[in-house]
Structure 1
Amino acid sequence: VTEFPFDSDRKLMTTVHKNGAGYQACAKGAPAELLARCAEMDWEGRSGPLTEQDRATVLAASDALASQGLRVLAV
């Protein structure tokens, strides 16, 4: 439906899609920026609140990949 391009302040790109009777926003960008906007997760068959431990685990994995010279994006 619309797109909010990447910008250096948000460090995210967002697209909005028609989804049945409603809309769905999808974002990608820097893991820390996206995690700061998340309250829940669905990961490895577990759904529920995103805890501080979960955040730390995701950021540690992201940092490990980035230290290998890889570009890391969260979706």
Structure 2
Amino acid sequence: MNGSLKDSTTIALKQYFKMLNGHTPCDLYKLVIEEVELPLMETVMEHAKQNQTQAAAILGINRSTLRKKLKAFDLIK
């Protein structure tokens, strides 16, 4: 595996700042979390073959917290 999540994040943020052409971003923390959380949930659930207990363990969160997030993203009913 080339690169790390840290490296990928740094590259993406530098590209984002470059695209802003000197403008100051607002609510950057919220934006990053919103952009990352959905694909994180989708990918972990796929890796865990939709097993919520296993996905919660992979993420290091409580299964009920995972269920709330999955519902919020309309990944489960």
The normalised TM-score by structure 1 is 0.33
The structure with the largest helix share of the pair is 2
Greater relative contact order (CA < 8 Å, ≥ 6 in sequence)? 1
Q: Which has the higher strand share?
A: 1
Q: Quick check: which has more Rg, 1 or 2?
A: 2
> Which TM-score applies when normalising by structure 2?
0.32
